[in-house]
Structure 1
């Protein structure tokens, strides 16, 4: 995992070092993006970490690209309303999509979609999003072993942001590896699950780390494990799943940008370079770090590889666990 990450960083650095080569290709055709504002479609409701990252990038890309980047939330149907809208949009660079790991998951979860979730033009991975299991600060659960023991002795109810979410799929992997079953409580978003956890209706919640960093730092919740290969800088006291005894059970999402299939690769490369420049800005880097997320500097092709690999991986989990969408 470390070697792969190093290769991606190296490839990203090489790609970002060549902006002068990319811009002339754009100049030969339409002077993108001078013609009009850029729409940045966010396929989820406002307020969550995906929306926060999308708005943060859009605000700073407005300056980096010299054109307004306007956020438009288009939630519903597990993000598929926004996804389909962008998939059917003209591939001219003036419509971008705030993509995430659900692009890979939805291909298996919704077999009758009218568009190919892996067919978007990759632009920038943006940030990596580890998952985390959190419990109340007064919970006796402090480790994965405690979760396993509780599930076997008395049962345990764990919430997630919904059926087919990355957190749900991670939970299915853990249950298969530990040979236990817990009661899965899917919610219409992570905020509702966290409310019930804080209120005592759940024993824990599996969720993306950006949704709970402040709760853990404030002492209201305790992190049991994170799903990344290494501990996160935001919550360094929380062990990884590998440290908890489950090596290989990693599940890291992403919040980034894709475009309609057929978008000029030079436009994708230019946005990719702009995103990398934005992620290096101290105010952006600080906000990303505060959320517990990790910036990714890699070329568009690297994101395409992530989407394809995750689609194959999660399709098997969806099939084996017989997961149905909410």
Structure 2
């Protein structure tokens, strides 16, 4: 009997010890979340320095750093259509000090690649930082004055549309617009904006969905046409350009965007605190003005709102990619 009693006392001692460890670990996690951040935060940008995602990330996180009282280090990790940098973050510690700033390409890649070094469940959404409106530009040689006329023209004549590469936002938007309007439109991938604009101005390529920053000056000088913008509202910087919905294409809203993800397991209080700091920064007059000058619309959402956008775009792009039969091994 003594040995049984001794065993019972030993078992209770072990259980209490485990309980104490679990309680201490949970308490430490709460304390870490409450005191976060206590050191520099690292944000991976899976694109080259000086690109739109890099500039937006640096602009917003400079303001976030001031709000949180800790430096934010931006690390550029380009390659493989952003998948290298995203994979690095998926493997990073979920300690609240590792994040990735992504374009909408993240949702495209889920269906574009047959194999990825990560999956959607490896991440949690933090914030939808900014939108990037996509404008429809067309070559002057086409006998059209608006997007509706371009669609009618495309039903009778073959068209081609440019993008910066397979799976790029311009590719996906062009493919969806062609699919929904029954156009015979061929995708032409390019390497960079300069050759795209040269061929659009010369008429070698017929149309392009692209942000305003680079092509818009050429449209204003009359070298190409700008017909519509694929956003919900008109772009404040170009109020005379109609939305695709106003141009006769109901429900055609298809922006690119920048958003922030964290590794799965990052404490929710930290995710919420960073999300709020991003929203405050993005909506501040100084940052909002800078983003507008870059062609972006400031957002700053809750994690739940951003996750809803990710799910919605992942499903939408899957439909476009499956129909277009596009894939990358």
TM range (shorter): 0.7 to 0.9
Other structure's SS at 2:100 match: strand
Which of 286, 290, 293 is equivalent to 2:296?
293
**Farther off after superposition, 146-155 or 116-125:** 146-155
Deviation, structure 1 residue 92: 1.2
Which of 54, 58, 62 is equivalent to 1:55?
58
Number of paired residues? 302
Which of 130, 135, 145 is equivalent to 1:132?
135
Q: For the residues of structure 2 that align with 1:108 and 1:312, how far apart are their CA atoms?
A: 9
Are 2:211 and 2:295, in contact at CA under 8 Å, matched by a contact in 1? no
Are 2:275 and 2:303, in contact at CA under 8 Å, matched by a contact in 1? yes
Q: State TM-score, norm by structure 1.
A: 0.83
Deviation, structure 1 residue 41: 0.8
Q: For the residues of structure 2 that align with 1:26 and 1:63, how far apart are their CA atoms?
A: 24
- Per the alignment, residue 108 of structure 1 pairs with 111
Where do 1:151-300 residues align within 5 Å? 151-198=154-201, 200-216=203-219, 221-300=224-303
Are 2:134 and 2:254, in contact at CA under 8 Å, matched by a contact in 1? yes
Are 1:161 and 1:207, in contact at CA under 8 Å, matched by a contact in 2? no
Q: What do residues 291-323 of structure 1 show as CA deviations (whole Å, max 9, x unaligned)?
A: 332222421111011111211121111111101
- Per the alignment, residue 33 of structure 1 pairs with 37
Other structure's SS at 2:133 match: strand
Instruction: Please list every run of 5 or more consecutive structure 2 residues that lacks an aligned counterpart in the other structure.
Output: 1-26
Other structure's SS at 2:134 match: strand
Q: What do residues 206-254 of structure 1 show as CA deviations (whole Å, max 9, x unaligned)?
A: 1234554555456654321111122111211111111222111221221
Deviation, structure 1 residue 98: 0.7
Does residue 87 of structure 2 align to residue 122 of structure 1? no
Deviation, structure 1 residue 110: 0.9
- Per the alignment, residue 3 of structure 1 pairs with none
Deviation, structure 1 residue 193: 2.3
Q: For the residues of structure 1 that align with 2:240 and 2:141, how far apart are their CA atoms?
A: 17
Other structure's SS at 1:249 match: coil
Relative distance call for 1:54 and 1:202 in structure 2 (3 A) is same
Relative distance call for 1:256 and 1:210 in structure 2 (3 A) is farther
Are 1:106 and 1:117, in contact at CA under 8 Å, matched by a contact in 2? no
Q: State TM-score, norm by structure 2.
A: 0.82
Q: For the residues of structure 1 that align with 2:150 and 2:257, how far apart are their CA atoms?
A: 27
Q: For the residues of structure 1 that align with 2:209 and 2:146, how far apart are their CA atoms?
A: 14
Q: For the residues of structure 1 that align with 2:53 and 2:208, how far apart are their CA atoms?
A: 18
- Per the alignment, residue 311 of structure 1 pairs with 314
Relative distance call for 1:240 and 1:130 in structure 2 (3 A) is same
Are 1:109 and 1:323, in contact at CA under 8 Å, matched by a contact in 2? yes
Are 2:102 and 2:259, in contact at CA under 8 Å, matched by a contact in 1? yes
Instruction: Please list every run of 5 or more consecutive structure 1 residues that lacks an aligned counterpart in the other structure.
Output: 1-23
Q: What do residues 115-169 of structure 1 show as CA deviations (whole Å, max 9, x unaligned)?
A: 1135411111011222111235786543123323443555333211221222222
Q: For the residues of structure 2 that align with 1:149 and 1:56, how far apart are their CA atoms?
A: 41
Does residue 46 of structure 2 align to residue 43 of structure 1? yes
**Farther off after superposition, 192-201 or 118-127:** 192-201
Q: For the residues of structure 1 that align with 2:28 and 2:185, how far apart are their CA atoms?
A: 54
Relative distance call for 1:285 and 1:77 in structure 2 (3 A) is same
Q: What do residues 280-300 of structure 1 show as CA deviations (whole Å, max 9, x unaligned)?
A: 322211111223322224211
Are 1:213 and 1:290, in contact at CA under 8 Å, matched by a contact in 2? no
Other structure's SS at 1:269 match: helix
